[in-house]
Amino acid sequence: MNSKSLLIAPSILSANFARLGEEINSVMSAGADWIHFDVMDNHFVPNLTIGPLVCKSLREDGIKDFIDVHLMITPVNELAMSFAEAGADLISFHPDAVEDVKETIEIIKQSGCKVGIAVNPDKPLSILKDIIKDIDLILLMSVFPGFGGQKFIEETIEKIEAAKELIEQQDHEIFLEVDGGINNETISRVSKAGANVFVAGSAIFGSSDYEQTIQSFRQKIS
Ligand code: DX5
Ligand code: ZN
């Protein structure tokens, strides 16, 4: 799987947590590519979700899919290592949540995971300048992190285009993931602008037919 593929990553934030394993199996067999795993600490963002134990349980229960962890927590380093041990494949964090961004990138890589940097709607892409050569993914937030079901911030489109240009100037592959307010109405614009990983929580888990929703996303991005 390289960054040229177009990947759909359902955010389990909007799944039914009482039946999480089943929900994941349903979206994956409905055609999803990655599991987007939102981790919130009621401190860095005003909401509280799930930690590495849940990731570990999913692995022990036989889930083999790519787990894309989005950390919205501070501090990061210890829990990032726990997520790596629990079976995460990729770990993204917000640079303002850590003391030393390069050190956290290194810790995540050393633990065997790919690493992503999350960029909030009010943060410039220039925060990537000194680290872009070391990362595998840019996670562009198209809402302020904390809750599912928010409205897509239109200014993100230009930012996606600029991030794509930045990525093209690098000599290694970098995924461009967009997170927040992705639905049947916004996904084609996000795709045209250059994103290649599409996170969607409420639009998928809130729909009555996951397969139909994912197929209709797929048609709009191909
Ligand atoms: C927001 C999370 C998102 C969220 C997206 O803080 O990072 O991943 O689940 O939800 P929707 O797709 O409903 O905007
Ligand atoms: Zn997320």
Q: What is the pLDDT of residues 61-107, one digit of tens each?
A: 999 999 999 999 999 999 999 999 999 999 999 999 999 999 999 99
Sequence-distant contacts of 15-23: CB under 8 A, at least 24 apart: 15/205, 16/205, 17/50, 20/54, 20/58, 21/58, 21/61, 21/63, 23/205
Q: Is 55 in the pocket of ligand 1 (CB under 6 A)?
A: no
pLDDT of the residue at 1: 64
Give pTM, 2 decimals. Answer: 0.98
pLDDT of the residue at 222: 81
Residue numbers belonging to the annotated binding site: 11, 36, 38, 70, 146-149, 179-181, 201-202
Q: Which residues are catalytic?
A: 38, 179
Q: Is 201 in the pocket of ligand 1 (CB under 6 A)?
A: yes
Q: Does the pLDDT at position 15 exceed 70? A: yes
**Is 1.10.3720.10 the CATH number for 7-221?**
no
What residues have CB less than 8 Å from 131, skipping those under 6 apart?
95, 101, 102, 105, 117
Residue 206 CA: nearest ligand 1 atom is 13
Split at pLDDT 50, 70, 90, the class of 3 is low
> Atom 7 of ligand 1 has which residue's CA nearest to it?
145
CA of 35 to the centre of ligand 2 (A): 10
Domains of the chain, residue spans: 7-221
Q: Using DSSP, how many helices (H) and how many strands (E) does the chain show? A: 8, 8
pLDDT of the residue at 4: 66
Lookup: tokens for 139? 């996670």
CA of 202 to the centre of ligand 1 (A): 7
Q: What is the mean pLDDT of the chain?
A: 97
Q: Is 82 in the pocket of ligand 1 (CB under 6 A)?
A: no
Mean per-residue pLDDT, 160-185: 98
Q: Does the pLDDT at position 192 exceed 70? A: yes
Residue numbers belonging to the annotated binding site for substrate: 11, 70, 146-149, 179-181, 201-202
Mean per-residue pLDDT, 181-209: 98
Q: Does the pLDDT at position 179 exceed 70? A: yes
Higher pLDDT, 157 or 222: 157
